[in-house]
């Protein structure tokens, strides 16, 4: 039996694939390479270039590889783009997601692990954010995650499809072989390291008047390998016939933008120039997870997510692959 990994050529998906392969799981990757990189997937792993919602292709894959579980990473994942192009986001993340779910249910697959996000939460009333915080996304991207989570609840009741929705906070860091290479790059740590590598670049800091100790926004950074580990534990949980769940994945400790820049200065030894700009609409001052539910349910413990360790791993990868992967994804 094998695990279907959609979006497995993307950043978090490919690190999870790497980890699954290490522990001897059979894996099949389905990715349309709209944002991912073929080089991120080991050549011996079965790879299909196609859409996560292609029912014909899915029927073939499920039959050929005896799929019994799915990890669904495939999605469009730029918040600002989702505001400009909500149709693309609902089509790619929700419509394709429903087609995927229907194909899996038809084929008798009953285990599903979903890449959700902290963007499902509404106005932050309490820090750290627990799973019982009000859900009311602020952008179309968040609504696509919210919608698929609700659909999964109904598919559990109706079809017995057991799922774990993993609400990641800020994924960061790299393994020996795999790092973050998005185009455009919207995440802070790779952008700070781009500025470390190029003296002509500055890090744009959006807002320095937030009600935080240094005035810049605080986020919860979780190492991508700790995320991969949580996926494996989620799969074990479902294999033990565990109930469906929605869980935060973060460290419970937040760092400000300036703290991240300082960490990168320490790690790289480069001064790194910054430029203060206005705050981005809808950016909350603080997003920090309460990860206690995932820790209790999976006995999961982030071990690589100390800030300097995250930055060191990302910097080591950047030095090995200064231009990221050779291939450039062709965005939808």
Ligand X SMILES: NC(=O)c1ccc[n+]([C@@H]2O[C@H](COP(=O)([O-])OP(=O)(O)OC[C@H]3O[C@@H](n4cnc5c(N)ncnc54)[C@H](O)[C@@H]3O)[C@@H](O)[C@H]2O)c1
Q: Which is nearer to ligand X, 94 or 195 (CB)?
A: 94
CA-to-CA distance for 283 and 120, rounded, in angstroms? 14
CB distance 137 to 82 below 8 Å = no
Nearer to ligand X, 79 or 205 (CB): 79
Q: How far is the CB of 278 from ligand X (least distance, A)?
A: 23
Cα–Cα distance for residue pair 96/108, rounded to 1 Å:
18
Burial (CB count <10 Å: 0-12, 13-18, 19+), residue 202: middle
Q: How many whole angstroms separate alpha carbon 172 and alpha carbon 220?
A: 10
Q: What strands lie across the sheet with 111-117, from one edge to the other?
A: 47-49, 27-31, 2-6, 67-72, 111-117, 162-168, 245-249
Residue 95: CB atoms within 10 A of its CB come to 14
Q: For residues 275 and 328, which CB has a smaller minimum distance to ligand X in the complex?
A: 328
> CA-CA distances (angstroms) from residue 17 to 6, 30, 41, 100, 144?
10, 11, 8, 19, 24
Q: How far is the CB of 9 from ligand X (least distance, A)?
A: 4
CB atoms within 10 A of CB 280: 12
Which residues are part of the catalytic machinery?
Answer: 141
Cβ neighbours of residue 177 closer than 8 Å, sequence gap 6 or more: 18
Residues in contact with ligand X by CB under 6 A are 6-7, 9-13, 31-36, 51-52, 73-77, 92, 96, 115, 117, 168, 170-171, 182
Specify the residue, 76 or 256, whose C-beta has the smaller distance to ligand X.
76
Helices (H), the chain: 11-22, 55-65, 79-84, 86-89, 96-106, 140-159, 188-197, 224-239, 257-268, 292-298, 307-320
Torsion of the alpha carbons at 88, 244, 223 and 121, rounded to the nearest 10: 60
Nearer to ligand X, 111 or 231 (CB): 231
Q: Which is nearer to ligand X, 2 or 227 (CB)?
A: 227
Least separation in angstroms between residue 311's CB and ligand X is 15
By beta carbon distance, the residue nearest ligand X is 10
């Amino acid at each position: 039996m094998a695990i279907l990994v959609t979006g497995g050529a993307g950043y978090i998906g490919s690190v999870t694939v790497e980890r699954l392969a290490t522990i001897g799981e059979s894996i099949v990757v389905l990715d349309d390479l709209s944002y991912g990189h073929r080089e991120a997937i080991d050549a011996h792993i079965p790879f299909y270039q196609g859409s996560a919602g292609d029912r014909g292709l899915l029927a073939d894959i499920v039959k050929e590889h005896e799929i019994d579980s799915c990890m669904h990473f495939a999605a469009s994942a730029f918040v600002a783009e989702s505001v400009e192009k909500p149709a693309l986001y609902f089509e790619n993340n929700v419509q394709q997601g429903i087609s995927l779910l229907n194909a899996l249910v038809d084929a008798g697959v009953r285990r599903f692990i979903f890449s959700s996000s902290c963007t499902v939460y509404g106005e932050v009333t309490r820090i750290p954010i627990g799973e019982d915080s009000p859900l009311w996304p602020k952008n179309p991207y968040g609504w696509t995650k919210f919608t698929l989570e609700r659909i999964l609840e109904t598919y559990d009741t109706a079809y017995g499809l057991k799922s774990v929705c993993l609400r990641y906070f800020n994924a960061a860091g790299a393994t020996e072989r795999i790092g973050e290479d998005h185009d455009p790059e919207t995440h802070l740590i790779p952008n700070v390291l781009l500025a470390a590598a190029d003296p002509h670049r500055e890090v744009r800091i959006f807002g320095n008047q937030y009600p935080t100790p240094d005035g810049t926004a605080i986020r919860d950074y979780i190492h991508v390998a700790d995320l991969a580990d949580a996926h494996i534990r989620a799969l074990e949980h479902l294999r033990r016939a565990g109930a469906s769940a929605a869980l935060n994945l973060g460290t419970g400790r937040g760092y400000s933008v300036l703290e991240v820049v300082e960490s990168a200065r320490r790690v790289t030894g480069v001064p790194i120039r910054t430029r203060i700009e206005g705050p981005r609409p809808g950016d909350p001052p603080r997003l920090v997870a309460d990860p206690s539910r995932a820790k209790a349910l999976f006995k999961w413990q982030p071990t690589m997510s100390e800030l300097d360790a995250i930055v060191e791993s990302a910097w080591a990868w950047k030095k090995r692959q200064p231009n990221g992967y050779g291939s450039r994804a062709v965005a939808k």
